[in-house]
Amino acid sequence: MKKNNSGYVSELRQDLVSGDWMIIATGRAKRPNSFIGGRQKFEQKISECPFENPQITGHSEPLLIYGKRNRWSLQVIKNKFPVVGYGRCSTTHKEGPYTIMEGVGFHEIVITRDHKKHLALMSVEKIAEVLKAYQERYIALMDHECVNYVFIFHNHGREAGASIPHPHSQIIALTILPTDVKRSLNGAKKYYEEHHKCVHCEILKCERDEKSRCVFHNKHFAVFSPFVPRVNFELRIYPRKHQSNFEEITEAERMSLAEALKQALYRLYKGLKDPAYNFFIHTAPCDGKDYKYYHWHIEILPKTNTWAGIELGTGVEIISVKPEDVAKFLRKFNPKNK
Amino acid sequence: MKKNNSGYVSELRQDLVSGDWMIIATGRAKRPNSFIGGRQKFEQKISECPFENPQITGHSEPLLIYGKRNRWSLQVIKNKFPVVGYGRCSTTHKEGPYTIMEGVGFHEIVITRDHKKHLALMSVEKIAEVLKAYQERYIALMDHECVNYVFIFHNHGREAGASIPHPHSQIIALTILPTDVKRSLNGAKKYYEEHHKCVHCEILKCERDEKSRCVFHNKHFAVFSPFVPRVNFELRIYPRKHQSNFEEITEAERMSLAEALKQALYRLYKGLKDPAYNFFIHTAPCDGKDYKYYHWHIEILPKTNTWAGIELGTGVEIISVKPEDVAKFLRKFNPKNK
């Protein structure tokens, strides 16, 4: 049985937001580079790609387009296979003890022009354009009477659930608050009520002082490997000043965020040799309530493990590389030195 | 955009235990048999299998053995790569705002004799033997002073995270309550305080009356496809009478449970052509507190989808086949008619 420096087979760390305990099984520690590789081939010919010429392949007119119609650099379209319907707001009804309602909302796709160039390899300016599209569509959707939450996410690679290789993000506007969003909000609220402070500001302060988990920071944003990660190699991007709502970022902040996102994704790309990953934005709901205690952020979850019985039954991934080692490893891969 | 019978693209269903909303996207409904197949080959030569002769391949002496030493039918051994260490009970300490403790407990493997014959194909008697081993080890571990929760689970297939094909289950004894266990307990407690009833007894009552989601029942157990599944094709097994603790089942109940487990696993095996799956037992903690409101059960989660950004960020899998259709489909595959 291998033990780590402190003589532990594993360490239990309590998440500051949820109060949940996570297992950092450093006793079966792997070196960071043992997480490299294992990607399945995931390619599609341009002639077969539904996102090369979306309107020719039966998609909706663009909801948003950057550039000219025949020389666009980015467009947002309706998802042909939405998880919620574009219908009228609905109310709940009962079925026995259960409560049901129709799934109503919006499901959109953000497509960048290049068939292969994914976010880690884009220029900071191009990434800023993607963030601008997120923000514009967020603002367009948030005021819709049925919409209480706008969820923005990106899947890269088949193992991360992408079904089409052409780089794209998704935006889903929902009437309900998703489970994990609700948990994240509740945790932040509880901490705020008990300590009269934002839990994420506390985390940022600790990470700035501690430094061992920091990967990058610029004027407005910090990238770090969280003390209690949900998955191996998780990275988080936080605005350094307290801010509840993603959609309120200024143009300068957007450029700063684009740089931070590039830094995070490029380092994972180089360090783990193009891993599959998901990232998503956790931000305050747009349901008209007060969420001043919340601090929006981006979570980036590389796909290095298969979730098994232990993860599915306990809700936590066994972490086998310490976040401190993740940060140290990723600090070596600076996009500026490429 | 496809719609279902009720004209919905999707339906939102609220979980009775957690209060979480799940998306049943029946608008992109697939037929149950479209979930068949896609398994990776997962085999290992007997000569290379570490579980054929555990003591010869460097494992511990059996913690429990059924049959003779050289003709055993089941044995329980220590996991060589435990997620928690076999140490002394530990206390928490602080690191900045964070709380940490050493991961201490027990991690064991339950191995059945046959290299290939997995649970779905075993006789009811053999399955009952596995359940007996679970129960015996549970009882041995629960009284240890460091142990507050004993988590029992089984992974089948590489996609479900099994690393060794030889059929085996795992038992982990922990000082902490795992995240999802805590949620399950909290949900049941809240319902009990509000309604003075066990939420799972209510669910069982509804499923018995409603029937459309029932797959099988015998004297002591019911198998059904839950109204709000966490994953496509999820099945649950509940004791029909209120019972908080798995380890309290009688011998007659254990035989009844073995039959129910066989029914569930065989139907998935036949219906989905040997899918990868995980199952685990959610039972009351053994921390000395009162959990009379809790109702232990088994959750079986077939692996038919890759979790992507939407699932990781929202914490819920998009369900594309209705639990009512799952039950109807699985009712066709009766082990007695094979």
A221-273 confidence digits (pLDDT tens)? 999 999 988 888 999 999 999 999 999 999 999 999 999 999 999 999 999 99
How far does B337 lie from chain A, in Å, by closest CA? 30
Q: Which residue has the higher pLDDT, A8 or A142?
A: A142
pLDDT of residue B306: 59
Question: Which residue type sits at B245?
Answer: N
**Residue A330 binned pLDDT confidence (cut-offs 50, 70, 90):** very high
Please give the model's pTM, rounded to 2 decimal places.
0.87
pLDDT of residue B2: 44
* B chain contacts of residue A25, beta-carbon cutoff 8 Å: 83-84, 103
Whether the CB of A97 is below 8 Å from some CB of chain B: the reply is: yes
**What is the DSSP code string of B16-78?**
TTT--EEEE-GGG---GGGG---PPP----GGG-TTTSTTTTTPPPPSEEEEETTEEEEEEEE
Whether the CB of A227 is below 8 Å from some CB of chain B: the reply is: yes
122-141 of B, contacting A, C-beta below 8 A: none
Q: Which residue has the higher pLDDT, A122 or B182?
A: A122
CB–CB contact A314 B103 (8 Å):
no
pLDDT of residue B29: 52
**What is the DSSP code string of A21-75?**
EEEE-GGG---GGGG---PPP----GGG-TTTSTTTTTPPPPSEEEEETTEEEEE
CB–CB contact A310 B181 (8 Å):
no
How far does A252 lie from chain B, in Å, by closest CA? 27
> CA-CA distance, A308 to A319, in Å (whole number)?
13
C-beta neighbour count of B135 within 10 angstroms: 18
Report residue B331 as tokens.
């009712």
**B64-68: strand order across its sheet:** B64-68, B71-78, B105-112, B168-174, B149-156, B277-282, B297-302, B235-239, B221-224, B214-217
pLDDT of residue A237: 98
Helix axes A199-210, A179-195, angle to 10 degrees: 80
Whether the CB of B89 is below 8 Å from some CB of chain A: the reply is: no
The chain A residue lying nearest B3, using CA atoms, is A85
Query: Nearest Cα to B172, choosing from A46, A280, A12?
Result: A12
| Residues 6 or more apart in contact with residue B303 via CB below 8 angstroms | B157, B159, B160, B231, B275, B276, B277, B278
How far does A337 lie from chain B, in Å, by closest CA? 30
CB–CB contact B278 A308 (8 Å):
yes
159-188 of A, contacting B, C-beta below 8 A: 159-162, 170, 172, 175-183
Assign domain A11-40+178-337 to its CATH architecture: 2-Layer Sandwich (3.30)
For B99, the closest of A14, A96, A305 (CB atoms) is: A14
How far does B243 lie from chain A, in Å, by closest CA? 20
Q: In angstroms, what CA-CA distances link B277 with A29, B286, B299, B306?
A: 26, 27, 10, 13
pLDDT of residue B15: 77
Whether the CB of A101 is below 8 Å from some CB of chain B: the reply is: yes
Q: Which fold has domain A46-174?
A: HIT family, subunit A (3.30.428)
Strand partners, B102: A11
How far does B255 lie from chain A, in Å, by closest CA? 24
CB–CB contact A11 B101 (8 Å):
yes
ipTM: 0.79
**Tens-digit pLDDT string for chain B (338 aa):** 445 455 666 777 787 777 777 777 766 556 666 667 666 778 899 999 999 999 888 888 999 999 998 899 999 999 988 888 887 888 888 888 888 888 889 999 999 999 999 999 999 999 999 999 999 999 999 999 889 999 999 999 888 878 889 999 999 999 988 888 888 999 999 999 999 999 999 999 999 888 999 999 999 999 999 998 888 899 999 999 999 999 999 999 999 999 999 999 999 999 999 999 999 999 999 999 999 999 999 999 998 765 566 666 666 667 878 899 999 999 999 887 44
pLDDT of residue A7: 61
Provide the percentage of residues in chain A whose pLDDT is more than 70.
88
CB–CB contact B84 A10 (8 Å):
yes
CB–CB contact B170 A21 (8 Å):
no
Whether the CB of B52 is below 8 Å from some CB of chain A: the reply is: no
Q: Are A57 and A64 in contact, with CB atoms under 8 Å apart? A: no
**Residue A162 binned pLDDT confidence (cut-offs 50, 70, 90):** confident
CB–CB contact B27 A82 (8 Å):
yes
Whether the CB of B213 is below 8 Å from some CB of chain A: the reply is: no
How far does B48 lie from chain A, in Å, by closest CA? 21
> CA-CA distance, A322 to B150, in Å (whole number)?
25
> CA-CA distance, B66 to B274, in Å (whole number)?
28
> CA-CA distance, A167 to A162, in Å (whole number)?
9
**Residue A28 binned pLDDT confidence (cut-offs 50, 70, 90):** low
CB–CB contact B12 A314 (8 Å):
no
Please, what is the average pLDDT of chain A? 88
Domain B11-40+178-337 identical in fold to domain B46-174: yes
> CA-CA distance, A103 to A179, in Å (whole number)?
15
**Residue A337 binned pLDDT confidence (cut-offs 50, 70, 90):** very low
**Residue A38 binned pLDDT confidence (cut-offs 50, 70, 90):** low
Domain coordinates of chain B in residue numbers? Answer: 11-40+178-337, 46-174
CB–CB contact A12 B172 (8 Å):
no
pLDDT of residue B7: 61
Whether the CB of B10 is below 8 Å from some CB of chain A: the reply is: yes
pLDDT of residue B156: 93
How far does B220 lie from chain A, in Å, by closest CA? 23
Whether the CB of A211 is below 8 Å from some CB of chain B: the reply is: no
Q: Number of residue pairs across A and B with CB atoms under 8 Å?
A: 247
What is the Cβ-side half-sphere exposure of residue B68, based on CA atoms within 13 angstroms?
A: 2
